Structure 1
Amino acid sequence: MDIKLGMNTSFALNRFPLPKEWIDIVTDELELKYVQFYFDLLDPVIIEEKVREKICEEIREYSMKKGIEIVNTASGAISHQTNFLLHPDKEVRKSFINWYRKAIDETAQMGSKSTGVYVGAFSMADIQNEKRKNEVLNDYINIMGELSDYASQKGLEYLLIEPMSIPREYPCTIEESLYINKKLNSVSSIPIYLNLDVGHLNILSNNERDRDPISWIKELLKYTKILHIQQTDKEASRHWPFTEEYNKKGIIDGEKILDAVCETGVDEIYLIMELFYKPFGNADYEVIPSLKESVRYWKNIINKRVDGGKKCWNH
């Protein structure tokens, strides 16, 4: 099994916005080589095209120079504040299709082979109306078929969707994730995989499996390319770092997570840290030290397992 430890750029938002800044942190400070890029750093629509092209070229060239791989581009926080491709108004949904197409363009320009992640959120009215919910969801499936054609033309190899934690943000259960993964791949020109997150637990579900990160991994990792890792509790998806302070509060045990990953027998998985930092107070000065401690936490687990003869991956 080939497990690749990496970082997404959530830590960099409005703190380290220049490509050289966040790439140097990943390579020189954290000594990692795999990156998931957040579109919040270079929004496909807000930033004008010629500027996007310039920065994508900077990212592509500097990534190659520093020896890192932009594994995937991800929707990020801005689009997550919208209904996105599940918006109740059909014309608004079409506008988000345009956002996604430009995201595909940007992904190809920076040399990455995959994009995606956020599906969208149903409105309060739609989530309470099964007929309307199914109409919007079926339209979404057709949209992803069209977008997969466009992604294939641009040279992308696969797309990603991310299961979430609440009923309005689809999918939010293991069963919903299995269903939508199968439906999307039946209409897609290129594979569509899951981007799981150990903290995206549906604590409102009546099914105990939906409240257990190990169950998500064991049942869904074979349909997954990226597994987000974060420290969290059972109250919300916290996206805490893996520091001594937060490991005492949190429920995520790295050794148990890796045991579950290895038991699935998948050939390859990207283990990507997705850590959030509040934009006020002393957080600015805590970011890099806590990132370093988080990387040490995971590398120590990996090295201990390798030294103990329990190796099931390369890193």
Structure 2
Amino acid sequence: MAYPRIYLAIDNCFACKRWTRPKEWCELIAQLGIGYVEASADTELDPLFMGPEYLVSWVEEVQRAQAATGVRVANLYSGHGTYTTLGLTHTDPRVRRRMLDHWFKPMVAAAAQLGAGLIFFAHAFVHTALQNAVLYREAIDVLEQGLIEVNQYAVAIGCENISIKQMYSPHQYPEGVKKFI
């Protein structure tokens, strides 16, 4: 019987606003004897805040830090910034488009360049949708279309692992779905 290989990893949220350069947090993680990290957008890599040129440089810095320390970024993680918006279920399609084009696609591209996955949570439902089964179903459809686009983009550029972080509140699907439909 073959057993799965299990790897110890750490989320680098501890480095937020303290050790923001990939070299810094990779060195700290290596000193702990941990070889894998989930890199949070909170550690100065959020594409909406930082912009595309910075994200390109950030990926290059991570690649150098990985080579120097042996620490590997296993996943990129959406961080707390995406919790502050409805994101992919925003009531305005322009905001959804911005999230897709200026947050998701750059993060997927960065993950692909690092050979990493992307774990995210970037959607929630407004109260009116939670109180009306028809509106709720429409919001789920909007979300699913956004997720399909993210997935198709990821497949097209070679990012193999995309995951939605499970949340624990009814307004943050998929938790509590059966309660509202």
Same fold (TM over 0.5): yes
Distance in 2 (CA, whole Å) between partners of 1:33 and 1:149 is 30
Which of 1 and 2 has greater Rg? 1
2:10 pairs with 1:10: no
Distance in 2 (CA, whole Å) between partners of 1:115 and 1:18 is 19
Deviations along 1:175-206, one digit per CA (max 9) or x if unpaired, are x5xx9xxxxxxxxxxxxxxxxxxxxxxxxx9x
Distance in 2 (CA, whole Å) between partners of 1:77 and 1:119 is 9
Match for residue 147 of structure 1 among 150, 160, 174: 150
Distance in 2 (CA, whole Å) between partners of 1:144 and 1:136 is 12
Deviations along 1:243-263, one digit per CA (max 9) or x if unpaired, are xxxxxxxxxxxxxxxxxxxxx
Match for residue 132 of structure 2 among 129, 133, 141: 129
Match for residue 39 of structure 2 among 37, 40, 61: 37
Distance in 2 (CA, whole Å) between partners of 1:117 and 1:51 is 20
2:99 pairs with 1:100: no
Deviations along 1:258-289, one digit per CA (max 9) or x if unpaired, are xxxxxxxxxxxxxxxxxxxxxxxxxxxxxxxx
C-alpha displacement at 1:129, in angstroms? Answer: 1.6
TM-score with structure 1 setting the length: 0.52
Distance in 1 (CA, whole Å) between partners of 2:112 and 2:42 is 17
Whether the 8 Å contact between 1:71 and 1:112 is mirrored in structure 2 is: yes
C-alpha displacement at 1:168, in angstroms? Answer: 0.3
Distance in 2 (CA, whole Å) between partners of 1:49 and 1:119 is 19
TM-score with structure 2 setting the length: 0.88
Report the more deviating stretch, 136-145 or 72-81. 136-145
In structure 2, the partner of 1:91 is 94
In structure 2, the partner of 1:51 is 54
Aligned structure 1 segments of 4 or more residues deviating by more than 6 angstroms: none
* Number of equivalent positions: 174
Match for residue 121 of structure 2 among 110, 118, 121: 118
Distance in 2 (CA, whole Å) between partners of 1:59 and 1:157 is 19
Identity over aligned residues, as a percent? 26
RMSD: 1.8
Whether the 8 Å contact between 1:44 and 1:106 is mirrored in structure 2 is: no
